[in-house]
Amino acid sequence: MPTLVDLLARVSFLAAMPAVAGIFVTASLLVVSRDWRLNMTALIAQYFFVVLLLTRLIRLEVAAVKGLTGWMICMVFYLTERRASLLEQSPATNSASSPQRWHRWVISARASFCLLAGLLVSVAAYTAALRMPLPEVPNDITLACYLLAGLGLLLIGLSENPMQVGLGLLTFLSGFDLFYVALEPSLAVAGLLGAVSFLIALATAYLRAAQITTGDEVRQP
């Protein structure tokens, strides 16, 4: 059975602009979307593309471990949101169903604003990648780093919902990690950064659980 490392090696041809494009799409989706299923899918894909790019900078095994950390984080988020959606579907809660809320969100002015803001940040990231290339990393990875950092920052700033903020922080950290592994390939730092990401996920999941418990969700889009 092929190992994760083997699988990554097979798709390593994508570890260039296709991965950057994938990062752009997934990060933009995280900015615009408010549906947890879509967000989880986007995050999983985002980590996949980040791992692909990491394979160009560090050893495949280390990149795979980082990917595993990311997917474990996605699992944490998935379990939390799944529990939340089960509680929302209970008769005790009067809130609208998830598809209805998603439909309302998509056509709302806020979604348009998020999309436009995301596009603006992407353009800014592209310009920054051209004007201020990061040391020790190729141009496409520079673009990916700026995209992740910028869209992550946007995601943190646009919402006070714990999950959205958590996604934003993780996106931001992914972008930074992509750059920093080229500067500091130390395993200790990699481990600590992974621990940081995991703890951020746990903290936001904890806050999300508190949000569900108190029924505070309706107040925070």
Partner 1 sequence: MPLLPILTIILPLVGAGGTVGLSLLPRVRPHTRLVALAMVGLVAVTILVSRWIPPEALIPSLWRPSFLFGTTLVVQNDAMVQPLAFALALVSCSVILVELSRTDQPHPRMMATLLVLLAAGCAALWAANLLTTLICWAIYDLLLAAGQVVSGGSVRMAVRSLIFGGLATLLLWGGAALAGRGMGSALWSLTTASRVQLTLWALAGLLRLWAYPFYLSMLDNSGVALSLLIPFALGPILGWGLWLRLAVVNGGPIPGGPWVLALAAINLGLGGFLAWSCGSMRRSWSWIGMAATGAVLLAAGVAGESGVAVVAVGGTAWVLAVGVMLLGDGLRREALWWSIPGLLGALALLGLPLTVGFVPAATMVGGLVRGGHLGWGGAFFCGYMFLVPALVRRLLAPPALPVPDRRWVMIVRGIGLGVPALLLVLAGLYPPLLVVGVRAPSLGQLLALPGWAGWLLWAGALAAGGALAWQEGAIRSKMELVLSAIHDLLCLEWLYRAIIGALERGLSVLWAAGEVVGGRGALLWSWLLFLLLLLVWGSR
Partner 2 sequence: MIAGPLLLLVLPLLMAGVIYLLLRWTSISALLAVGTTLALGIAVLTLPLDQPVHIWGGRQIAMGEVVTIFGRELVLEQSDRIAMAFLFLTSAGIFFLAWRIEQQPLILPMGLGLLSLLNGALLIRPLVYAALLIEIAAALSVFALQAEGGVPTRGGLRYLSFTTLALPGLLVTHWLLERYALTPNDTDLLRVAATLLALSFALLLGVVPFHTWVPAVTSDSVPLAGTFVLTIGNGAVWFLLLDFLKTYPWLRSHPRFESLVYMAGIAMVIVGGLLAPSQRRVGPLMGYAALIDSGSALIALGLNSGAGLTLAVLSLMVRPFGLILMAAGLSGLRARSGGDDAFEALRGLGWQAPWSTAALIFGGLSVAGLPVSAGFAWRWALCRALASSSPGAALWILLASASVMAGVWRALWALLARQKDRSVPSSPEGWLTAVVIVVAIVACVGIGLFPQIVAPLADRLAAAYTFVGR
Residues that bind partner 2 (CB under 8 A): 153, 156, 160, 162, 165, 168-169, 172-173, 176, 180, 183-184, 187-189, 192-193, 195-196, 199-200, 202-204, 206-208, 210-211, 213-214, 216
Look at the block and give the residue holding tokens 């940081």. Answer: 196
Structure tokens at 169: 């922080």
- How far is 51 from 198, CA to CA, in rounded Å? 16
Nearer to partner 2, 25 or 207 (CB): 207
Nearer to partner 1, 61 or 160 (CB): 160
185 touches which of partner 2, partner 1, none (CB within 5 to 8 A by kind)?
none
Which of 4, 23, 36 has the alpha carbon at shortest distance from 211? 36
Q: CB under 8 Å to 81, separation ≥6 — which residues?
A: 36, 37, 40, 163, 208
211 touches which of partner 2, partner 1, none (CB within 5 to 8 A by kind)?
partner 2
204 touches which of partner 2, partner 1, none (CB within 5 to 8 A by kind)?
partner 2
173 touches which of partner 1, partner 2, none (CB within 5 to 8 A by kind)?
partner 2
**Shortest CB 171 distance to partner 2, Å:** 11
**Shortest CB 153 distance to partner 1, Å:** 7
**Shortest CB 93 distance to partner 2, Å:** 16
Nearer to partner 1, 22 or 118 (CB): 118
Cβ pair 45, 26 in contact under 8 A: yes
154 touches which of partner 1, partner 2, none (CB within 5 to 8 A by kind)?
partner 1
Count CB-CB contacts under 10 A for residue 2.
Answer: 9
Look at the block and give the residue holding tokens 């925070």. Answer: 220
- How far is 168 from 151, CA to CA, in rounded Å? 8
Structure tokens at 56: 């160009």
Q: CB under 8 Å to 196, separation ≥6 — which residues?
A: 173
Cβ pair 157, 33 in contact under 8 A: no
Count CB-CB contacts under 10 A for residue 74.
Answer: 21
**Shortest CB 212 distance to partner 2, Å:** 10
Assign 130 to helix, strand or coil.
helix
Nearer to partner 2, 121 or 169 (CB): 169
Nearer to partner 2, 8 or 194 (CB): 194
30 touches which of partner 2, partner 1, none (CB within 5 to 8 A by kind)?
none
Kindly list the residues in this chain that would bind partner 1 in the complex (CB under 8 A): 153-154, 156-160
